[in-house]
Amino acid sequence: MGSQFGVQRLRLPASVHGRAAAEFLEFSDLTDAIERQIWGHEDRCSPADYRLGVWRDTRYELTSLFFVRDGGRMVGRAWCQLPLKEDLNRATVRAEVLDEYAGRGIGRRLLAAATEEAMRHGRTVLSSFTEHPAGFDAGAPDAVVPSTGRGALPAADRAVAFARAAGFELSQVERFSELVLAEHDGGWPALEAAAAAAAHDYDVLVWEGVPPVHRTEMAGLFARMSTDVPYGVDHFDPAVWDADRVAALEEQLTDAGTLPLYAVARHRASGRLAAYTVLWIRAAKAEIADQDDTLVLAEHRGHSLGMLIKLANLAAYRERFPHARKVITFNAEENRHMLAINEALGFRPAGYDGEWYRRLA
Protein backbone atom coordinates (compact mmCIF):
# COMPACT_ATOMS: atom_id res chain seq x y z
CA MET A 1 0.00 0.00 0.00
CA GLY A 2 1.46 3.28 -1.07
CA SER A 3 1.87 6.34 1.07
CA GLN A 4 -0.72 8.11 -1.09
CA PHE A 5 -3.41 6.30 0.89
CA GLY A 6 -3.25 8.54 3.94
CA VAL A 7 -6.32 8.83 6.13
CA GLN A 8 -7.88 12.29 6.41
CA ARG A 9 -10.59 13.56 8.75
CA LEU A 10 -13.74 15.05 7.25
CA ARG A 11 -14.87 18.42 8.61
CA LEU A 12 -18.60 19.01 8.34
CA PRO A 13 -19.70 22.24 6.62
CA ALA A 14 -22.38 24.58 7.90
CA SER A 15 -24.72 23.59 5.05
CA VAL A 16 -24.78 21.53 1.85
CA HIS A 17 -24.50 24.72 -0.21
CA GLY A 18 -21.43 26.66 -1.25
CA ARG A 19 -17.80 25.82 -1.88
CA ALA A 20 -17.19 24.80 1.75
CA ALA A 21 -19.52 21.82 1.26
CA ALA A 22 -17.61 20.30 -1.68
CA GLU A 23 -15.62 17.74 0.32
CA PHE A 24 -18.65 16.70 2.36
CA LEU A 25 -20.73 16.26 -0.80
CA GLU A 26 -17.96 14.12 -2.29
CA PHE A 27 -18.00 12.01 0.87
CA SER A 28 -21.79 11.67 0.62
CA ASP A 29 -21.51 10.66 -3.04
CA LEU A 30 -18.90 8.04 -2.09
CA THR A 31 -21.25 6.70 0.58
CA ASP A 32 -23.99 6.34 -2.05
CA ALA A 33 -21.59 4.66 -4.46
CA ILE A 34 -20.70 2.08 -1.80
CA GLU A 35 -24.40 1.41 -1.11
CA ARG A 36 -25.03 0.96 -4.83
CA GLN A 37 -22.14 -1.47 -5.21
CA ILE A 38 -23.56 -3.57 -2.37
CA TRP A 39 -27.24 -3.47 -3.33
CA GLY A 40 -27.39 -2.58 -7.01
CA HIS A 41 -29.95 0.17 -6.32
CA GLU A 42 -30.40 3.35 -4.25
CA ASP A 43 -32.98 2.28 -1.65
CA ARG A 44 -30.40 2.54 1.15
CA CYS A 45 -28.84 5.75 -0.13
CA SER A 46 -29.64 9.02 1.64
CA PRO A 47 -29.86 12.70 0.65
CA ALA A 48 -26.85 14.80 1.59
CA ASP A 49 -28.88 17.12 3.84
CA TYR A 50 -30.08 14.12 5.84
CA ARG A 51 -26.54 12.90 6.39
CA LEU A 52 -25.30 16.33 7.37
CA GLY A 53 -28.08 16.63 9.94
CA VAL A 54 -27.60 13.23 11.57
CA TRP A 55 -23.80 13.31 11.49
CA ARG A 56 -23.48 16.55 13.44
CA ASP A 57 -22.28 16.19 17.03
CA THR A 58 -24.98 16.46 19.69
CA ARG A 59 -25.15 16.20 23.47
CA TYR A 60 -25.97 12.54 22.98
CA GLU A 61 -23.52 11.37 20.31
CA LEU A 62 -20.24 12.34 18.65
CA THR A 63 -19.47 11.33 15.07
CA SER A 64 -16.00 11.31 13.47
CA LEU A 65 -15.65 10.71 9.72
CA PHE A 66 -12.53 9.69 7.80
CA PHE A 67 -11.62 9.19 4.15
CA VAL A 68 -8.80 8.12 1.86
CA ARG A 69 -7.98 9.49 -1.58
CA ASP A 70 -6.20 7.95 -4.52
CA GLY A 71 -4.80 11.00 -6.23
CA GLY A 72 -7.77 13.34 -6.41
CA ARG A 73 -10.45 10.67 -5.98
CA MET A 74 -12.10 9.75 -2.66
CA VAL A 75 -12.10 5.93 -2.60
CA GLY A 76 -12.77 4.80 0.98
CA ARG A 77 -14.53 6.05 4.07
CA ALA A 78 -14.90 5.24 7.76
CA TRP A 79 -16.75 6.54 10.77
CA CYS A 80 -16.73 6.32 14.53
CA GLN A 81 -19.84 7.13 16.57
CA LEU A 82 -19.62 7.61 20.33
CA PRO A 83 -22.74 7.58 22.54
CA LEU A 84 -22.55 10.08 25.40
CA LYS A 85 -25.43 9.08 27.71
CA GLU A 86 -25.25 5.27 27.81
CA ASP A 87 -22.85 2.60 26.52
CA LEU A 88 -19.95 4.81 27.54
CA ASN A 89 -17.55 1.91 26.96
CA ARG A 90 -18.70 1.49 23.35
CA ALA A 91 -18.16 2.97 19.89
CA THR A 92 -19.71 2.07 16.56
CA VAL A 93 -17.15 1.90 13.76
CA ARG A 94 -17.24 1.02 10.09
CA ALA A 95 -14.84 1.13 7.15
CA GLU A 96 -15.63 0.58 3.47
CA VAL A 97 -13.86 1.05 0.13
CA LEU A 98 -14.86 0.99 -3.50
CA ASP A 99 -14.64 -2.47 -5.02
CA GLU A 100 -11.80 -1.60 -7.38
CA TYR A 101 -9.67 -0.58 -4.38
CA ALA A 102 -10.23 -3.75 -2.37
CA GLY A 103 -7.16 -5.69 -1.32
CA ARG A 104 -4.84 -2.69 -1.01
CA GLY A 105 -5.07 -2.31 2.77
CA ILE A 106 -7.17 0.86 2.59
CA GLY A 107 -9.99 -0.64 4.64
CA ARG A 108 -7.58 -1.73 7.35
CA ARG A 109 -6.07 1.74 7.54
CA LEU A 110 -9.49 3.37 7.75
CA LEU A 111 -10.69 0.93 10.41
CA ALA A 112 -7.52 1.61 12.40
CA ALA A 113 -8.27 5.35 12.33
CA ALA A 114 -11.83 4.78 13.57
CA THR A 115 -10.59 2.38 16.25
CA GLU A 116 -7.93 4.83 17.42
CA GLU A 117 -10.64 7.50 17.72
CA ALA A 118 -12.70 5.14 19.90
CA MET A 119 -9.71 4.29 22.10
CA ARG A 120 -8.83 7.96 22.48
CA HIS A 121 -12.23 8.37 24.13
CA GLY A 122 -11.65 5.38 26.41
CA ARG A 123 -13.96 2.98 24.57
CA THR A 124 -13.27 -0.74 24.99
CA VAL A 125 -16.05 -2.35 22.91
CA LEU A 126 -16.55 -1.79 19.18
CA SER A 127 -19.84 -2.37 17.34
CA SER A 128 -20.10 -2.61 13.58
CA PHE A 129 -22.40 -3.96 10.89
CA THR A 130 -22.18 -5.47 7.42
CA GLU A 131 -24.77 -5.51 4.61
CA HIS A 132 -25.72 -8.50 2.44
CA PRO A 133 -28.34 -8.74 -0.33
CA ALA A 134 -30.62 -11.77 -0.16
CA GLY A 135 -29.91 -14.77 -2.35
CA PHE A 136 -26.95 -16.43 -0.63
CA ASP A 137 -27.13 -19.91 0.89
CA ALA A 138 -27.70 -19.37 4.61
CA GLY A 139 -27.51 -23.13 5.13
CA ALA A 140 -24.04 -23.54 3.61
CA PRO A 141 -21.64 -25.54 5.80
CA ASP A 142 -19.32 -22.54 6.20
CA ALA A 143 -22.08 -19.95 6.80
CA VAL A 144 -21.32 -17.68 9.75
CA VAL A 145 -24.01 -18.08 12.44
CA PRO A 146 -24.51 -15.39 15.10
CA SER A 147 -24.66 -15.89 18.87
CA THR A 148 -28.47 -16.00 18.67
CA GLY A 149 -28.39 -19.07 16.41
CA ARG A 150 -30.90 -17.37 14.08
CA GLY A 151 -29.91 -16.36 10.57
CA ALA A 152 -26.48 -16.59 8.96
CA LEU A 153 -24.09 -14.69 6.69
CA PRO A 154 -21.95 -15.92 3.75
CA ALA A 155 -18.42 -16.66 4.92
CA ALA A 156 -16.92 -15.79 1.53
CA ASP A 157 -18.40 -12.29 1.47
CA ARG A 158 -15.64 -9.68 1.53
CA ALA A 159 -17.25 -7.69 4.35
CA VAL A 160 -17.63 -10.82 6.49
CA ALA A 161 -14.02 -11.82 5.91
CA PHE A 162 -12.87 -8.28 6.71
CA ALA A 163 -14.83 -8.16 9.99
CA ARG A 164 -13.55 -11.56 11.13
CA ALA A 165 -9.97 -10.72 10.20
CA ALA A 166 -10.27 -7.54 12.28
CA GLY A 167 -11.27 -9.56 15.36
CA PHE A 168 -15.03 -8.99 15.28
CA GLU A 169 -17.55 -11.64 16.29
CA LEU A 170 -21.09 -11.96 14.92
CA SER A 171 -23.67 -11.19 17.60
CA GLN A 172 -26.92 -11.00 15.61
CA VAL A 173 -28.40 -11.08 12.11
CA GLU A 174 -31.10 -8.58 11.18
CA ARG A 175 -33.43 -9.08 8.25
CA PHE A 176 -33.71 -6.12 5.87
CA SER A 177 -37.24 -6.14 4.42
CA GLU A 178 -39.13 -4.07 1.88
CA LEU A 179 -42.82 -3.39 1.34
CA VAL A 180 -43.83 -2.38 -2.20
CA LEU A 181 -46.92 -0.25 -1.67
CA ALA A 182 -48.29 -0.59 -5.21
CA GLU A 183 -48.92 -4.27 -4.47
CA HIS A 184 -51.42 -3.21 -1.79
CA ASP A 185 -53.39 -0.42 -3.43
CA GLY A 186 -56.56 -1.78 -1.88
CA GLY A 187 -55.08 -1.54 1.58
CA TRP A 188 -55.36 -4.32 4.08
CA PRO A 189 -59.08 -4.47 4.95
CA ALA A 190 -59.08 -7.91 6.58
CA LEU A 191 -56.03 -7.08 8.70
CA GLU A 192 -57.54 -3.73 9.69
CA ALA A 193 -60.85 -5.28 10.73
CA ALA A 194 -59.20 -8.00 12.81
CA ALA A 195 -56.81 -5.57 14.52
CA ALA A 196 -59.58 -3.07 15.31
CA ALA A 197 -61.71 -5.81 16.87
CA ALA A 198 -58.84 -7.03 19.06
CA ALA A 199 -57.89 -3.48 20.10
CA HIS A 200 -61.33 -2.18 21.03
CA ASP A 201 -60.00 -0.75 24.31
CA TYR A 202 -57.49 1.50 22.52
CA ASP A 203 -57.50 4.65 20.38
CA VAL A 204 -54.96 5.37 17.65
CA LEU A 205 -53.35 8.82 17.24
CA VAL A 206 -51.12 9.90 14.35
CA TRP A 207 -48.53 12.64 14.85
CA GLU A 208 -46.04 14.45 12.64
CA GLY A 209 -43.37 14.57 15.31
CA VAL A 210 -43.98 14.11 19.03
CA PRO A 211 -46.24 16.85 20.44
CA PRO A 212 -44.47 18.62 23.34
CA VAL A 213 -47.20 17.54 25.78
CA HIS A 214 -46.36 13.88 25.08
CA ARG A 215 -42.55 14.09 25.11
CA THR A 216 -42.10 12.86 28.68
CA GLU A 217 -44.34 9.84 28.18
CA MET A 218 -42.76 9.05 24.81
CA ALA A 219 -39.32 9.24 26.43
CA GLY A 220 -40.40 6.34 28.62
CA LEU A 221 -41.42 4.31 25.56
CA PHE A 222 -38.17 5.16 23.76
CA ALA A 223 -36.25 3.89 26.79
CA ARG A 224 -38.23 0.66 26.77
CA MET A 225 -37.33 0.21 23.10
CA SER A 226 -33.71 -0.22 24.19
CA THR A 227 -34.54 -2.99 26.67
CA ASP A 228 -37.51 -4.83 25.18
CA VAL A 229 -36.05 -5.77 21.78
CA PRO A 230 -33.89 -8.89 21.36
CA TYR A 231 -30.10 -8.67 21.30
CA GLY A 232 -27.40 -11.23 20.80
CA VAL A 233 -24.52 -11.92 23.16
CA ASP A 234 -23.41 -8.30 22.74
CA HIS A 235 -25.67 -6.49 25.22
CA PHE A 236 -26.27 -2.74 25.37
CA ASP A 237 -27.06 -0.43 28.28
CA PRO A 238 -30.64 0.76 28.76
CA ALA A 239 -31.01 4.06 26.92
CA VAL A 240 -31.47 7.20 29.03
CA TRP A 241 -34.35 9.24 27.63
CA ASP A 242 -36.19 12.31 28.90
CA ALA A 243 -38.33 15.04 27.33
CA ASP A 244 -35.25 17.11 26.44
CA ARG A 245 -33.72 14.23 24.52
CA VAL A 246 -36.97 13.68 22.58
CA ALA A 247 -36.99 17.39 21.70
CA ALA A 248 -33.34 17.19 20.61
CA LEU A 249 -34.15 14.26 18.32
CA GLU A 250 -37.04 16.20 16.79
CA GLU A 251 -34.74 19.17 16.17
CA GLN A 252 -32.06 16.96 14.66
CA LEU A 253 -34.53 15.33 12.27
CA THR A 254 -35.92 18.72 11.24
CA ASP A 255 -32.38 19.91 10.48
CA ALA A 256 -31.91 16.71 8.45
CA GLY A 257 -35.00 17.41 6.34
CA THR A 258 -36.78 14.40 7.82
CA LEU A 259 -40.34 13.99 9.06
CA PRO A 260 -40.93 11.42 11.82
CA LEU A 261 -44.48 10.15 11.34
CA TYR A 262 -45.82 8.42 14.46
CA ALA A 263 -48.85 6.25 15.12
CA VAL A 264 -49.50 5.54 18.80
CA ALA A 265 -52.05 3.45 20.66
CA ARG A 266 -53.62 5.00 23.76
CA HIS A 267 -55.36 2.89 26.39
CA ARG A 268 -58.81 4.42 26.84
CA ALA A 269 -59.33 3.50 30.49
CA SER A 270 -56.00 4.85 31.75
CA GLY A 271 -55.24 7.43 29.07
CA ARG A 272 -51.69 6.06 28.88
CA LEU A 273 -49.74 5.39 25.70
CA ALA A 274 -49.33 1.66 25.16
CA ALA A 275 -47.53 1.38 21.81
CA TYR A 276 -45.89 3.42 19.07
CA THR A 277 -44.40 3.06 15.62
CA VAL A 278 -42.56 5.63 13.50
CA LEU A 279 -41.71 6.13 9.85
CA TRP A 280 -38.82 8.43 8.94
CA ILE A 281 -39.56 10.27 5.69
CA ARG A 282 -36.75 12.32 4.16
CA ALA A 283 -38.02 15.30 2.16
CA ALA A 284 -35.58 14.73 -0.70
CA LYS A 285 -36.50 11.03 -0.91
CA ALA A 286 -40.09 10.90 0.27
CA GLU A 287 -41.02 7.99 -2.01
CA ILE A 288 -39.19 5.58 0.33
CA ALA A 289 -39.88 5.61 4.07
CA ASP A 290 -37.72 4.02 6.74
CA GLN A 291 -39.73 2.02 9.26
CA ASP A 292 -37.87 2.75 12.48
CA ASP A 293 -39.01 1.72 15.97
CA THR A 294 -42.15 -0.25 16.74
CA LEU A 295 -42.87 -1.05 20.38
CA VAL A 296 -45.83 -2.47 22.28
CA LEU A 297 -45.40 -2.37 26.05
CA ALA A 298 -45.39 -5.88 27.48
CA GLU A 299 -48.38 -5.19 29.69
CA HIS A 300 -50.48 -4.27 26.62
CA ARG A 301 -49.55 -7.11 24.30
CA GLY A 302 -52.11 -9.56 22.96
CA HIS A 303 -54.43 -6.90 21.47
CA SER A 304 -52.97 -6.64 17.93
CA LEU A 305 -51.62 -3.18 18.72
CA GLY A 306 -48.50 -3.69 16.63
CA MET A 307 -50.59 -4.44 13.55
CA LEU A 308 -53.07 -1.67 14.35
CA ILE A 309 -50.53 1.13 14.60
CA LYS A 310 -48.46 -0.04 11.62
CA LEU A 311 -51.60 -0.02 9.45
CA ALA A 312 -52.50 3.47 10.69
CA ASN A 313 -49.03 4.81 9.93
CA LEU A 314 -48.93 3.25 6.46
CA ALA A 315 -52.28 4.86 5.68
CA ALA A 316 -51.05 8.23 6.97
CA TYR A 317 -47.85 7.96 4.90
CA ARG A 318 -49.76 7.23 1.70
CA GLU A 319 -52.24 10.03 2.38
CA ARG A 320 -49.56 12.65 3.03
CA PHE A 321 -47.18 11.47 0.28
CA PRO A 322 -49.15 10.38 -2.81
CA HIS A 323 -45.93 9.26 -4.54
CA ALA A 324 -45.01 6.90 -1.70
CA ARG A 325 -43.51 3.80 -3.27
CA LYS A 326 -41.82 1.62 -0.68
CA VAL A 327 -41.16 1.12 3.03
CA ILE A 328 -37.96 -0.53 4.26
CA THR A 329 -37.27 -1.90 7.72
CA PHE A 330 -35.00 -4.08 9.89
CA ASN A 331 -35.85 -6.78 12.42
CA ALA A 332 -33.75 -9.25 14.35
CA GLU A 333 -34.10 -12.72 12.83
CA GLU A 334 -35.20 -14.06 16.23
CA ASN A 335 -37.93 -11.41 16.60
CA ARG A 336 -40.56 -13.73 15.17
CA HIS A 337 -43.56 -11.77 16.45
CA MET A 338 -42.63 -8.53 14.68
CA LEU A 339 -41.49 -10.41 11.58
CA ALA A 340 -44.88 -12.15 11.44
CA ILE A 341 -46.67 -8.77 11.50
CA ASN A 342 -44.46 -7.41 8.74
CA GLU A 343 -44.85 -10.55 6.64
CA ALA A 344 -48.64 -10.33 6.95
CA LEU A 345 -48.43 -6.73 5.69
CA GLY A 346 -46.44 -7.87 2.67
CA PHE A 347 -42.84 -7.11 3.67
CA ARG A 348 -40.40 -9.45 1.94
CA PRO A 349 -36.72 -10.12 2.69
CA ALA A 350 -34.36 -8.01 0.59
CA GLY A 351 -31.17 -8.74 2.52
CA TYR A 352 -29.53 -9.15 5.89
CA ASP A 353 -27.31 -7.05 8.14
CA GLY A 354 -24.72 -8.60 10.41
CA GLU A 355 -24.32 -6.99 13.83
CA TRP A 356 -20.71 -7.46 14.97
CA TYR A 357 -18.73 -6.64 18.11
CA ARG A 358 -15.12 -6.66 19.27
CA ARG A 359 -13.79 -6.27 22.79
CA LEU A 360 -10.57 -4.25 22.86
CA ALA A 361 -9.66 -5.14 26.47
pLDDT tens-place string over residues 275-298: 999 999 999 999 999 999 999 999
Quick check: 3 pLDDT over 70? no
User: Considering the chain, what is the average pLDDT of its residues?
Assistant: 97
Q: How many other β-carbons are positioned within 10 Å of the β-carbon of residue 273?
A: 19
Residues 6+ apart with CB under 8 A from 305: 195, 199, 202, 265, 274, 275, 296
List the domain boundaries for the chain.
Answer: 7-176, 179-350
Judge whether residue 1 has pLDDT over 70: no
Please give the pLDDT value at position 341.
98
Q: What is the pLDDT of residues 22-36, one digit of tens each?
A: 999 999 999 999 999
**pLDDT of the residue at 201:** 98
pLDDT of residue 45: 97
User: How much is the average pLDDT of 36-54?
Assistant: 97
Spell out the SS3 assignment of 107-150: HHHHHHHHHHHHHHCCCCEEEEEEEEECCCCCCCCCCECCCCCC
pTM of model > 0.85: yes
245 pLDDT tier (thresholds 50, 70, 90): very high
Confidence of residue 217 (pLDDT cuts 50, 70, 90): very high
Residue type, 357: Y
Would the CATH topology of 7-176 be identical to that of 179-350? yes
For residues 86, 109, 66, 329, the Cα torsion angle rounded to the nearest 10 degrees is: -60
pLDDT confidence band for 229 (50 / 70 / 90): confident
Query: What percentage of the chain exceeds 90 in pLDDT?
Result: 96
Fold held by 179-350: Aminopeptidase (3.40.630)
Q: What percent of the chain has pLDDT over 70?
A: 99
pLDDT tens digit string along 313-353?
999 999 999 999 999 999 999 999 999 999 999 999 999 99
Could you say which of 3.40.50.261, 3.40.1260.10, 3.40.630.30, 3.40.190.10 is the CATH number of the domain covering 7-176?
3.40.630.30
User: Does an H or E element contain 26, and which?
Assistant: helix 22-39
| Predicted pLDDT of residue 342 | 98
pLDDT at 182 over 60: yes
* pLDDT of 185 strictly over 90: yes
91 and 117 Cβ atoms separated by less than 8 Å: yes
Q: How confident is the model at residue 361, as a pLDDT?
A: 76
Q: Output the CA–CA distances (angstroms, integers) from residue 124 to 99, 118, 144, 203, 209, in the order listed.
A: 30, 8, 24, 45, 35
